[in-house]
Amino acid sequence: MNRILVAAILLGSFAGGANAQTSQATLLAGACQGCHGANGAGAQGIPGIHHTMSRSEFTLAMQDFRANRREATVMGRIARGYTDAEFAALAAHFARPEASR
């Protein structure tokens, strides 16, 4: 019994740690936050990106920046450094929550 409890404690704390298994999106989002703000709210003319777009709008915007289809100052140069999978991860991180399918 004791052994199980000890295991449970360890598991519980590992879960705390595992919770801390920061998703790749959280790390990627750091790049965006550098200008768009810790909470993605934007500042001083830099647009907010937190819950301002749907996931598909977010991904499309990034793809348009990457392909030079959308006028940009810095975003084109930035978007060309990332993959579609990373756009999708960032979209899930920043876009408006969507009803689960």
Partner 1 sequence: MTIARRSLLGASALLAMPHVARAQGRARLVILGGGFGGASAARFARDHYPALDVTLIERSQRFTTCPYGNLVLAGTRRVEDITFGYEQLAARGVRVLHAEAAAVEAEARAVRLADGTRVPYDRLVMSPGIDLRWGAIEGYDEAASAKMPHGWIPYRQPITVLAAQLRAMRQGGVFLMAIPDNPFRCPPGPYERISMVASYLKRHNPTAKIIALDAKNGFSKQPLFQEAWEELYPGMIDWRGASSDGRVMRVDTNEMALETEFGEKVKGDVINVIPPQFAAGIARAAGLAADSGWCPIKPDSFESTRVPNIHVIGDASVAAPMPKSGFAAATQARQAVAAAAAQLAGREVPAAVYFNTCYSHVGEDYGISIVGVFRASGGRLIEVEGAGGISPRNAALPGARRAEHRRLEAIYADGWYEAITREMFAQA
The DSSP result for 8-24, as a single string, is HHHHHHHHHHHHTS--H
- Nearer residue to partner 1 within complex by CB, 2 or 100: 2
Q: Compute the least distance from the CB of residue 13 to partner 1, in Å.
A: 4
- Nearer residue to partner 1 within complex by CB, 28 or 60: 28
- Which residues, in sequence order, are bridge partners of residue 46? 43
Q: Considering only residues 73, 97, 100, 101, which one is a binding residue for partner 1 as defined by CB under 8 A?
A: 73
Distances (CA, A) of 39 to 13, 19, 43: 27, 20, 11
Q: Considering only residues 63, 86, 88, 92, which one is a binding residue for partner 1 as defined by CB under 8 A?
A: 86
Q: Considering only residues 51, 57, 68, 80, which one is a binding residue for partner 1 as defined by CB under 8 A?
A: 80
Nearest CA to 62 out of 50, 51, 49, 76 is that of: 76
Q: Compute the least distance from the CB of residue 85 to partner 1, in Å.
A: 11
